Chain A
Amino acid sequence: MSAKTEPPASSSAPGVHPKPFWSFRPRSDREAGDAVVSNFLLHWFPAKTYKPSLDWSYSFWLGTASAALFFLLVLSGLPLLLLYVPSVERAYGSVKDIEFVVTFGSWIRAVHRIAAHLMVAAVFLHLVRVFLTGAYKNGTGRGQRREWNWVLGVVMIVLTLFLSFTGYLLPWDQLAYWAVTVGTNIASSVPFVGPQMRELLIGGRTIDQATLIRFYVLHVIFLPAGLGALLAYHMWRIRKDGGLAKADRWTPTQEKTEASPAKSKTYSLLGVARGQAPAIRAVTLEARDTTVNSVNDLVRRISIVVLGTFAVVSILACFIPSPLEEPANPMITPNPAKAPWYFLWLQEIVTDTTLKIGSFTINGAFLGGVILPTLLLGLLTVWPWLDRSPAGAAGVWFHASRKRQNLVFLLVVLLVLAFTIVGTFLRGPYWNFYWPWEAWPELPTRI
């Protein structure tokens, strides 16, 4: 390429890419890298991506899917923000309006609800994946602080659960009211400060307007803003920690190899030299064929995951209607009254550990609702420092040196899932056990 065919640089400031959009088919590594530098949406990508990071079967792209769901939740939440009225008198009616008369309203609400449930599931699976691959471990790279990104992740899963929980109350129907009643009652079993904690959470002693506005503001402002900020930091730390843990073993060789020179700058030699631009020698630490350009190989895969997530949610939303029960009524407890499904393993444990010995009742809410989740969360948080396996175990599924901890972790996960399934599907009126093929007793109606 001779200097004469170069496009005139006068159309833009120096260093600013003249084209507003990146090339879908970059003809050279330089053009691919340019896109990352010049495009706001792509600037947080590396110019090149290690091939193993793009594997479908290593990460299952669960973190990307979680982020996509979060983005979709913000997006579908915006129209709901304009339609929903956070008042005890009108919340229920405004949700009925969204269901029945707003154009695409029931679909928007279904997208929001399904995405919320899927996000809880995706975030949880993401955590399970990171644990089983030991991806919170620092590998061979320098300056890695993966353990702190793991702690960040634990905080984010708690925020995700709390986001979902606060959204649960907003329709102000029986389902919402009693799920939040059960949830906040569990919180009140903390010794000494429990009742005060509950009072702070719900803004009084009964779930009422004060609770609704508190949950609403948390749901639409503080929690999403917090989660969004943490998400950005989470992503930034991945870059700082050298990408996915699996790519650690593919990191640069220590040998410099000759690379073909990439033209990165045009030097004007002001007539000192004539003719061709000076040849620049370039070297690289990358082994050959370990990386691909982020544009478009990474962008394409991310598009597949993000748009695929959107498509799945959108199709599900066409066929799964969102429930809306009777208006909230503090005088009538539905039977059974259940917490949101992701807390049902706790509710199940609470009831299983509530023992009656004679006239003595051992309250399970403290053990199942407070001690156990605090213990599990605490253990999760500090686990990277307790895990003494070698650096080589980072980013490997079921590494031999982590066999025992992986088994214990899987056991806990399976127990949580089992309790969740029992609580969600097998518990009927009076929290009695019913197999799926057993009919629940007929629920009476007014007329």
Chain B
Amino acid sequence: MEQRTSSPYPGKDRPVLAVIGVLLVVSTVVFAVTDHRKDWRWYQAEFRKMVAEKYGAEKAASVPAGMKQIWVKDLGRADRCITCHQGILWKGFETAEHPWKTHPAEPLKIHPVEDYGCTACHGGQGWAVESEKAHGPIHFWEEPVLGKAMGEAYSLQGGDKGALMQMNCNVCHRYDRETKGADLINLGKKLVNEKGCRACHVINGRGGTIGPDLTYVGDKAAEQYDMSRLGGQKTAFAWHVAHLKNPKELVPDTVMPSFGFGTKESQALAALVLSWRRAPVPATYRPGVPRTDPQTPEEIAEEERMKHGPGAWFVSTGCFVCHSVSSLGVKSAAQVGPDLSTAVEDTQSRFGKTVDDFIRNPTGTMSVVLSRQIVLTDAEKEVAIQKLREAFAEHQKQKAAGPEAR
């Protein structure tokens, strides 16, 4: 027999190696099993049972199995929702529970599933095939499903708790004056026109520059809001609702006036502004309206009258943002300040100064406005005094003529 060096190691090392072998097998089993055990398999099995019950076994056999997705290349979306929501295009499951329920037919007529997918309208994470990760809200996916649960979390006013989904409608429909079925957004759009938000804000390329441009304000990240004075939910939506109700509460030095919006109006506007996003929507997905936000002929006429009428100076100088001058036909959208028709009298009673003194040495809010937003030279101040006197004279003339003359 040849020489064989003796070794102390095999006795101790072999059992260790054996244990490691077992660990490797165990870990393989664990990851294979976790990879296989997914909830969607159960949902699919249940759906097949439901189909079998209703339409027979043969039909049930035709239900596709396995992971499914709708790949919408134009929108860059792979929506795997249909892996569990198998019944959306089946007739006869209108009263079934989620996820097997039939999708209402009406919206799908103009938004076919194969062209739009699911998440473009509903929100949620289309990549995911696990309930919580797909629906949210979860960390690191800021587009949760905008459904009833979300509406209830915000105590959404009005009958439709699922109305927040209209924010996603408006990504494509943002240039519509009114969108059928999107009542919440329609209310918001109506308020934007009525309240004259454009006096201060640029929206879709048109408006004043006193406030920030709102065209793509929906892209502003939640981190970029100052949430320090906001109670309750710390979300961009909640911030907008609170801010619209009372701007000064969240931003003490804002010049934005309070419009006295109720919860419903604030929610409608918050939903609208958050829908203003720079979404990469292909042109074919935009409804057939020009990509501007045109004014009606009445609105244009009104604007022309204000610009060129007797009160033109107040419009071009910017006073009309806050003040109406009713005697000269100038109507302010915000109406934050008093009517300037009576300023000549008014300054006496409010500030104890003549209008001449007040314009030359303003106090209060006007000192801020006249030093920052509307800066007048001495000559221009004289014009201002002159114009205010004219407005007052006109006011007295109309007053003398009696209310019916106005």
- Please give the residue numbers on chain A whose beta carbons come within 8 Å of chain B beta carbons, in ascending order: 1, 26-30, 32, 48, 54, 89, 93, 96-97, 99-101, 103-104, 106-107, 173-174, 259-260, 262-263, 289, 291-293, 296-297, 300-301, 303-304, 307-308, 310-311, 314-315, 317-318, 323-326, 329, 331-335, 442-447
Contacts and interface: CB of A to CB of B under 8 A. Distances in A.
Nearest to A315: B27
A298 to B, nearest CB: 9
B222 A444 contact: yes
Nearest to A296: B10
30 contacts: A28-B2, A29-B3, A29-B4, A30-B2, A48-B5, A54-B9, A89-B76, A93-B78, A100-B80, A100-B130, A101-B67, A107-B35, A262-B2, A297-B7, A297-B9, A300-B13, A304-B20, A307-B24, A311-B24, A318-B30, A318-B34, A442-B234, A444-B222, A444-B225, A444-B234, A445-B234, A445-B235, A446-B235, A447-B142, A447-B237
A314 B27 contact: yes
A68 to B, nearest CB: 12
Contacts, number: 152
Given A260-B3, A447-B237, A311 B20 contact: yes
A445 B9 contact: no
A32 B7 CA distance: 13
B4 A27 contact: yes
B224 interface: yes
Given A29-B2, A29-B3, A100-B127, A446 B222 contact: yes
A332 B236 CA distance: 14
B150 interface: yes
B274 A447 contact: yes
A1 B3 CA distance: 12
Given A100-B129, A332-B224, A335-B223, A291 B2 contact: no
A275 to B, nearest CB: 20
Contacts of A315: 23, 26-27, 30
Nearest to A104: B35
Contacts of B142: 326, 445-447
Interface residues on B, range: 35 or more
Contacts of B310: none
A17 to B, nearest CB: 16
B146 interface: yes
Given A304-B16, A326-B140, A446 B274 contact: yes
Contacts of B234: 442-445
B21 interface: yes
Given A101-B67, A325-B140, A447-B144, A293 B35 contact: no
A303 B24 CA distance: 12
A32 B2 CA distance: 11
B235 A444 contact: yes
Closest 10 CB pairs between A and B?
A28-B2, A314-B27, A444-B222, A96-B127, A311-B23, A332-B221, A444-B234, A325-B140, A292-B7, A107-B31
A413 B32 CA distance: 40
Given A97-B78, A318-B30, 9 more contacts: A96-B128, A293-B7, A297-B9, A308-B20, A326-B140, A334-B223, A445-B222, A446-B142, A446-B274
Contacts of A314: 24, 27-28, 31
Contact of A301 (B5, B9, B24, B32): B9
Nearest to B16: A304
A441 to B, nearest CB: 9
A444 B223 contact: yes
B17 interface: yes
B31 A104 contact: yes
A324 to B, nearest CB: 7
Contacts of A289: 6
Contact of A326 (B14, B30, B141, B274): B141
Given A28-B2, A301-B9, A446-B222, A324 B140 contact: yes
Contacts of A301: 9, 13
B5 A293 contact: yes
B257 interface: no
B236 A304 contact: no
B256 interface: no
Contacts of A326: 140-142
B271 to A, nearest CB: 9
A28 B146 CA distance: 74
Given A311-B20, A311-B23, A314-B31, A304 B13 contact: yes
Contacts of A445: 137, 142, 222, 234-236
Contacts of B393: none
A444 B236 contact: yes
B4 A300 contact: no
A340 B9 CA distance: 41
B236 A300 contact: no
Contact of B235 (A308, A318, A447): A447
A29 B5 contact: yes
Interface in B130-150: 130, 137, 140-144, 146, 150
Interface string B20-61: 110110111011101100000000000000000000000000
Contacts of B343: none
B1 interface: yes
B136 to A, nearest CB: 9
Given A311-B27, A447-B237, A28 B1 contact: yes
A23 to B, nearest CB: 12
B244 interface: no
Nearest to B125: A96
A333 B21 CA distance: 46
A67 B141 CA distance: 37
B370 interface: no
B227 interface: yes
Contacts of B141: 326
Given A100-B127, A297-B10, A332 B2 contact: no
Nearest to A335: B223
B164 interface: yes
B24 to A, nearest CB: 5
Contact of A292 (B5, B21, B129): B5
Contacts of B13: 297, 300-301, 304
B142, B150, B221 — which one has the most chain A CB atoms within 10 A of its CB?
B221
A262, A324, A332 — which one has the most chain B CB atoms within 10 A of its CB?
A332
B70 to A, nearest CB: 13
Contacts of B143: 446
Contacts of A300: 9-10, 13-14, 17
A263 B2 contact: yes
A236 B224 CA distance: 56
Contact of B17 (A307, A323, A331, A442): A307
A303 B69 CA distance: 43
Contacts of B150: 447
A13 B76 CA distance: 61
A292 B3 contact: no
B213 to A, nearest CB: 15
A284 B3 CA distance: 13
Nearest to B4: A28
Contacts of B27: 311, 314-315, 317-318
A447 B9 contact: no
Contacts of A106: 35
A297 B8 CA distance: 9
Contacts of A54: 9
